[in-house]
Amino acid sequence: MAKFRYSAIDANGKEKSGKIDAANEAEANAKLTSMGLMVNKLIADGGGKKAGGKAPSKGKGGGFSFGKVVNQEELTVFTRQLATLLQAGLPLLRSLEVMIRQEKKPAFKNVLSQIADNVRSGNNFSDGLAQHPKVFDRLFVNMVRAGEAGGVLDVVLSRLARFQEKALKTKKKVKSAMIYPIVVITVAVAIVVGLMIGVVPRFQQIFQDMLGGAQLPALTRWVIGFSEFIQNNIIITVGIVIAIFIGFKVALNTAGGRRAWDWLGLHTPKLGDLLGKAAIARFARTFGTLLSSGVPILQSLQITKEIIGNSVIEQALDKVHDRVRDGEPLATPLEQQRVFPTMVTSMIDVGEETGELAEMLNRIADNYDEDVDNAVSSLTSIIEPIMIVVLAVIVGVIVIALFLPIIGIIQQLSGG
């Protein structure tokens, strides 16, 4: 047995730290989770550091799995099918065995087999899930734990599947709005590179032959110079592009860079409206689903903060969590953070007063899911003409630059 030092948050939102004996990090994480603690840090004495209790999940035989064990869509299907089996009256272990038999992905099948073995040994289903944090996040584990405690696991899994389906639908809508500009930008870059490498050099040779070294228009000189740079410095050009991409990724991995990027996204016209509504829908859906499943409010806030996907909102929720822990009602600090619209905080306030906060949050999520649909349509209708104009301007500038000397040649011939 090894010793692990941990830092965690209990159901009341208070930080706790100490040491625990376990055979490995996965077992230590499962033990702490079964004690109702949400692990923030787990450090083996004399070993490496693991944040968030995310121990590596190993398959039978100690092999390694590359890539994702299961994607979000496949996990949603699994949750829905497992909920259906339980609602049909099958015991949990029998339901897991059915899911294992029909699973085609070896890595996920191996994970389910380990969870089934855990349940067969008399442990809770949620403890088995907690040993695979790369597959089942804290939202999943805590909802299952709440369902087990209340004896309504089938209901909670059905609720979780519905949550996953709606979250996945919203995510796809936001992605679909981003695909068009990315495709157009890619095409524009390909066209420019093709013109610079294949077309401009031929015109350059024509100009040298016909103008005999006469000075070209400034725009033409600039385009030819850019073309020559790309041709003579292909490795440098590719290196610059790669360096920009890597620098961007590195900056996003820093707290300041990620916050600046998220802030920019929320404050970009039209795009910020879409991203903001999607984030509010995700917050309300996640928070409401956790509360309706019996997860304590502070723990629900902590989990929601971790999966919200926007550092600006995440920081705001962190402050809200601390003030709710100190006894304030939820609506007051939410409104003061000025992250969510007044309508949202007002509905949350009403939900708190009537004791129907979870239902009110789910209603907010439904409303904002519809708003996301409208925002996607609006953004797409605006992006299409803008991108077409941008592409036309880029190509047009190059064409004009190449034809300006030709016009001069024609004028000289006419004068002669």
Identify the pLDDT of residue 227. Answer: 87
Output the pLDDT for position 382. 82
How far apart, in Å, are the Cα atoms of 82 and each of 88, 142, 197, 388?
10, 17, 56, 47
Q: Name the fold adopted by 65-165.
A: Receptor-associated Protein (1.20.81)
Q: What is the pLDDT of residue 212?
A: 67
d(CA 126, CA 118): 10
Each residue's pLDDT tens digit, 310-356: 888 888 888 898 888 888 888 889 888 888 888 888 999 999 889 88
Edge-to-edge strand order for the sheet containing 38-44? 15-22, 2-9, 38-44, 49-51
Helices (H), ranges, 121-254: 125-130, 138-150, 153-194, 200-211, 218-232, 234-252
Segment (H or E) for 9: strand 2-9
Reported as a pLDDT band with limits 50, 70 and 90, residue 14 is low
User: What ranges do the domains of the chain cover?
Assistant: 2-56, 65-165, 167-416
CA distance linking residue 347 with residue 334, whole number of Å: 12
Q: Residue 106's CB: how many other CB atoms inside 10 A? A: 12
Q: Are 207 and 216 in contact (CB under 8 A)?
A: yes
- 224: exposed, middle or buried (Cβ count in 10 Å: 0-12, 13-18, 19+): buried
The percent of residues in the chain predicted with pLDDT above 70, rounded, is 89
pLDDT beyond 70 at 148: yes
Asked if residues 73 and 169 have their Cβ atoms less than 8 Å apart, the reply is no
Q: What does the pLDDT read at residue 13?
A: 58
Residue 219 pLDDT > 70, yes or no? yes
What lies within 8 Å, CB to CB, of 202 at 6+ separation is none
Distance separating alpha carbons of residues 280 and 397, to the nearest angstrom? 42
Q: Residue 411 pLDDT > 80, yes or no?
A: no
Higher pLDDT, 247 or 66: 247
pLDDT in tens, 41-54: 777 775 444 444 43
**What's the mean pLDDT when you consider all of the chain?**
82
Residue type, position 166, single letter: K
Domains 65-165 and 167-416 fall in the same CATH topology: yes
The continuous run of DSSP H or E covering 40 comes out as strand 38-44
Of 60-69, 100-109, 227-236, which range is least confident? Answer: 60-69
Which helix (H) or strand (E) segment holds residue 19: the answer is strand 15-22
Q: What tens digit of pLDDT does each residue of 357-396 get?
A: 988 998 998 888 888 888 887 877 787 788 888 888 888 8
pTM, full prediction: 0.66
94 vs 111: CA distance, rounded Å: 16
Hey, what long-range contacts does 258-261 have (CB within 8 A, 24 or more apart)?
258/311, 259/311, 259/312, 259/315
pLDDT at 56: 39
Give me the mean pLDDT over the 19-38 stretch: 75
Query: Any idea which fold 167-416 has?
Result: Receptor-associated Protein (1.20.81)
What is the spatial distance between Cα 124 and Cα 116, in angstroms, rounded to a whole number?
10
Which tens digits make up the pLDDT trace of 168-204? 887 887 787 778 778 878 888 888 888 888 888 888 8
Q: What pLDDT, on a 0 to 100 scale, did the predictor assign at position 48?
A: 43
